[in-house]
């Protein structure tokens, strides 16, 4: 595993609202993520985990501070540059799978590539099928989300997050909606992908048991990193 930082943020802040109603949600975050790292972002509800992941994922801009990934200054990049960067280099898994109900598993997995290029190709379909194999769902390719269990749906979401070959996958409480056995299965899967594909993962959770399955942990409390 190499130890080059792929992502670095410094003195990162995020405020919502203005004047009397201003809320300081992130109060100066310094963090780097190395290539191939699997990190738990552990913190209680309201500590700022989702806000930080949204900023790192370029879904939201920080108020202040520096934000660089793969040599690109994302703090000062245009909206169009950030969108392109997101599609090429970042993957997302959310607590709720956000799969499209009318599409099959393989079509859902293809979506990030289809959206990026505006078309669907046979090569995309092949890659999506391979990713479904990798998450243990080869026999569910043509199933719609409604015909799968919660754990299976979340494994489809994991496969989808990998479709464009991201350097970093941001997973916001990916097991928060699953029972213990299904959660462990998803975590095992993330670990094996992390080992075989050289993809870094940052996984938010408020669950010690889940955090314990990551090699590195960063603890967030009230908008500050209290341990890393």
Rounded Cα distance between 122 and 118, Å, is: 14
Q: Cβ 49 to ligand ADP, closest distance in Å?
A: 3
Q: Cβ 141 to ligand ADP, closest distance in Å?
A: 33
Interface residue with ligand ADP, options 48, 57, 112, 145 (CB under 6 A): 48
* Choices 45-53, 99-107, 109-117, 139-147 (CB under 6 A): range interacting with ligand ADP: 45-53
Q: Cβ 14 to ligand ADP, closest distance in Å?
A: 8
Rounded Cα distance between 109 and 129, Å, is: 8
Rounded Cα distance between 210 and 66, Å, is: 29
> How many CB atoms within 10 Å of residue 65?
17
Q: Select 43 or 166, whichever has its Cβ closest to ligand ADP.
A: 43
Which residues in 24-43 contact ligand ADP (CB under 6 A)? 25, 43
Interface residue with Mg ion, options 39, 47, 50, 175 (CB under 5 A): 50
Q: Does 45 bind ligand ADP (CB under 6 A)?
A: yes
Rounded Cα distance between 20 and 70, Å, is: 38
Candidates 46, 29, 72, 59; CA nearest to 225 is: 29
Q: Does 51 bind ligand ADP (CB under 6 A)?
A: yes
Q: Select 98 or 149, whichever has its Cβ closest to ligand ADP.
A: 98
Interface residue with ligand ADP, options 1, 11, 16, 121 (CB under 6 A): 16
Sign of the four-CA dihedral 109, 115, 117, 118? positive
**Residue with structure tokens 């990551």?**
214
Q: Cβ 219 to ligand ADP, closest distance in Å?
A: 11
- Rg over CA atoms, the chain: 17
DSSP lists the bridge partners of residue 171 as 93, 203
Residues engaged in binding ligand ADP (CB under 6 A): 16-17, 23, 25, 43, 45-51
């Amino acid at each position: 595993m190499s130890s080059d930082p792929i992502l670095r943020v410094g003195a990162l802040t995020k405020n919502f609202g203005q004047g009397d109603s201003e809320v300081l949600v992130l109060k100066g975050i310094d963090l780097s993520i190395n290539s191939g790292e699997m990190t738990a972002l552990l913190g209680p509800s309201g500590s700022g985990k989702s806000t930080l992941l949204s900023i790192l994922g370029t879904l939201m801009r920080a108020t202040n501070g520096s934000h660089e990934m793969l040599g690109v200054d994302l703090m000062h990049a245009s909206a169009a540059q950030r969108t392109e960067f997101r599609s090429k280099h970042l993957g997302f898994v959310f607590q709720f799978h956000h799969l499209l109900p009318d599409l099959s598993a393989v079509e859902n997995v293809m979506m990030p590539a289809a959206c990026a290029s505006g078309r669907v190709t046979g090569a995309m379909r092949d890659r999506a099928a391979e990713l479904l194999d990798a998450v243990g769902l080869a026999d569910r390719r043509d199933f719609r989300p409604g015909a799968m269990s919660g754990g299976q749906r979340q494994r489809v979401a994991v496969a989808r997050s990998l479709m464009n070959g991201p350097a970093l996958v941001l997973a916001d409480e990916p097991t928060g909606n699953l029972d213990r056995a299904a959660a462990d299965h998803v975590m095992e899967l993330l670990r094996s992908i992390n080992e075989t594909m050289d993809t870094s993962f940052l996984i938010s959770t408020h669950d010690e048991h889940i955090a314990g399955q990551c090699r590195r942990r960063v603890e967030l409390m009230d908008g500050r990193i209290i341990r890393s």
